[in-house]
Amino acid sequence: MSSPVKRAFKYRFYPTEAQAAELSRTFGCVRKVYNLALAVRTEAWTLRRERVNYNRTSALLTEWKRTEELAYLNAISSVPLQQCLRHLDSAFTNFFARRARYPRFKSKKRSRGAAEYTSSAFRFRDGTLTLAKMVEPLRVVWSRPLPPGVKPTTVTVSQDAAGRWFVSLRCTDPSVAPLPAIDTAVGVDVGLDHLLTLSTGDKIANPRYELRDRARLAKAQRALSRKADGDGANRAKARRRVARIQARVTDRRRDHLHKITTRLVRENQTIVVEDLNVAGMLHNGRLARAISDAAWSEFRSMLTYKALWYGREVIAVDRWFPSSKRCSVCGGVRTEMPLRVRAWTCGCGATHDRDVNAARNILAAGLAVSACGAGIRPHRNSPGGQSAVKQEALRRELWESPSHSRGEVKSGLLARAPRPAATSAAASRVR
């Protein structure tokens, strides 16, 4: 039996002036404590190679509150301060496990104001939510009901760049359960002309939300650039106008992706996608804006966690698999396939739509890996006759060799070496 799913239900709320002032103070104190703890942990590691854990920073928080300089920390609830220390500890855990970069200091202008409250610091009763240090409940717009009989375990209050206030209630959702198993599978090819092309031949249009509001966004950004630098009221207003347009684009895009991914998960047992290097594609100056607007990474993320919720399977096919250049009928591979070619005819006589053919090849490759673990990577040789596997072994040897610095390795052979081939299966399964 699967474990219960924990979900966060996000709602917008409208605080009173007193509540907004209290929350703004809380955000500032949380940011201050986070930065102080990060500075202490960084200094301890840099100078003494000492790891400072959560318990140590929690004791330091008590000492900071006793000082005259930081006595204002006592005016807010202590729970958000303790929670930000736990978040910092998790950030360091992810860093040392090589799952994330080194934690960064929070900036008042760049970071999102947020504070997390545990069950001891809020009261949720009869559809009303009251936070610690507040007399009145928050005026929450309950746009959708919480699961019946469920109480939130944590509450996160945040404010976005557009000035909107949100509250996120994390709770266990018993209504999320695996769907009945079905025997349908689909291959998905992402693109820019069409957002998604399915192996069934269906194509989902790319709404291009950023392009729709690009003129309004450019006008607002020009107005912002003419405002004097600093913390003036007019510049703040102009900045919020820009943020509101960007938030409008983001909200529409996310809503569209939610509908698409929910439909794919409900209608298919197995979904096969390409493991694209989206971050690398964004270095293409001509396509970066369109790729960002398509939000392929967010689509993949939504698809993955919804498949986990509902007992579906997502298979990721290796990014170097020639899905567009391979004929889905005879298996022949063309040497070149420029992006301008949208339809082509194979030597066997089959005529293909480029995207539909790619989606069908992706599906076939994913099902082959799922069934027997067969590799689908095309055979490639590196210059000089060395195989890609040997190049990978040489790269690792140079990287780990004490006689070569990493800078020498990056600027020397590895800078000219071809992309290393994976030594494992060419497709990975995400369950």
Residue with tokens 């994330």: 100
% of the chain at pLDDT higher than 70: 85
User: Quick check: 338 pLDDT over 90?
Assistant: no
Q: Point out which residues pair with 270 in neighbouring strands.
A: 185, 313
Lowest mean pLDDT: which of 154-168, 320-334, 396-410?
A: 396-410
**pLDDT confidence band for 2 (50 / 70 / 90):** low
DSSP states along 212-227: HTHHHHHHHHHHHHTS
Asked if 105 and 42 count as a contact pair (C-beta separation under 8 A), the reply is: no
Residue 301 burial (CB count, 10 A): 13
Catalytic residue among 274, 293, 318, 392: 274
pLDDT of residue 126: 85
Q: What is the mean pLDDT of residues 242-268?
A: 96
Angle at which helices 214-225 and 233-267 cross, to 10°: 150
Enumerate residues 6+ apart whose C-beta is below 8 A from 4. Answer: 172, 173, 174, 176
Helix (H) / strand (E) containing 316: strand 313-317
H or E element: which one contains 371?
Answer: helix 354-372
| Residue 229 annotated among the catalytic residues of the structure | no
| Active-site pick, 22, 89, 116, 189 | 189
Instruction: Please say if the pLDDT value at position 365 is more than 60.
Output: yes
Q: Please, which residues have CB within 8 angstroms of residue 305's CB and are 6 or more apart in sequence?
A: none
Chain centre to alpha carbon of residue 383: 36
Q: Can you list the domains of the chain with their CATH numbers?
A: 5-173 (no CATH), 185-214+251-372 (3.30.420), 383-430 (no CATH)
Q: What pLDDT does residue 371 have? A: 66
Per the model's pLDDT, the better-predicted residue between 214 and 392 turns out to be 214
Is pLDDT larger for residue 425 or for residue 152?
152
* pLDDT tops 50 at residue 314: yes
Question: Which pLDDT belongs to residue 269?
Answer: 94
Please say whether the beta carbons of 170 and 156 come within 8 A.
yes
The amino acid at 430: V
Buried b / exposed e over 269-279, threshold 16 CB at 10 Å, is: bbbbbbbbebe
Q: Is 422's pLDDT higher than 50?
A: no
- What distance in Å separates the CA atoms of residue 25 and residue 206, rounded to the nearest whole number? 42
Q: Evaluate whether 179 touches 313 at the Cβ level (below 8 Å).
A: no
Least confident of 166-180, 232-246, 377-391: 377-391
For residue 96, what is the enclosing H or E element?
helix 78-96
Q: Which of 66-70, 111-115, 292-296 has the lowest mean pLDDT?
A: 111-115
Amino acid at 345: T
Query: What CA–CA distance (Å, rounded) separates 177 from 157?
Result: 28
Contact 425, 373 (CB under 8 A): yes
293 flagged as catalytic: no
pLDDT, one tens digit per residue, over 284-299 is: 888 999 999 999 999 9
User: For the residues 168-183, what does the mean pLDDT come to?
Assistant: 91
Asked if the model's pLDDT at residue 52 lies above 70, the reply is yes
Q: Which of 12-26, 166-180, 297-311, 407-421 has the lowest mean pLDDT?
A: 407-421
DSSP single-letter state for residue 72: G
| pLDDT value at 58 more than 80 | yes
Tokens 């450019």 -> residue: 218
- Tokens 């198993």 correspond to 181
355 flagged as catalytic: yes
Would you place residue 70 in the very low, low, confident or very high pLDDT band (cuts 50, 70, 90)? very high
* Mean pLDDT over the full length of the chain: 85
Q: Which of 22, 25, 57, 63 is CA-nearest to residue 41?
A: 57
pLDDT bracket for residue 372 (50, 70, 90): low
The residue annotated as part of the active site, out of 89, 116, 210, 355, is 355
pTM: 0.79
Q: At what angle do helices 17-48 and 78-96 cross, to 10 degrees?
A: 40
122 Cβ contact list (under 8 Å, min separation 6): 129, 130, 131, 132, 152, 155
Q: Given a cut of 90, is residue 262 above it in pLDDT?
A: yes
**Average pLDDT of the segment spanning 309-323:** 91
Asked if the model's pLDDT at residue 400 lies above 80, the reply is: no
Q: Are 386 and 220 in contact (CB under 8 A)?
A: no
pLDDT digit string, tens, across residues 73-91 = 999 999 999 999 999 999 9
% of the chain beyond a pLDDT of 90 = 64
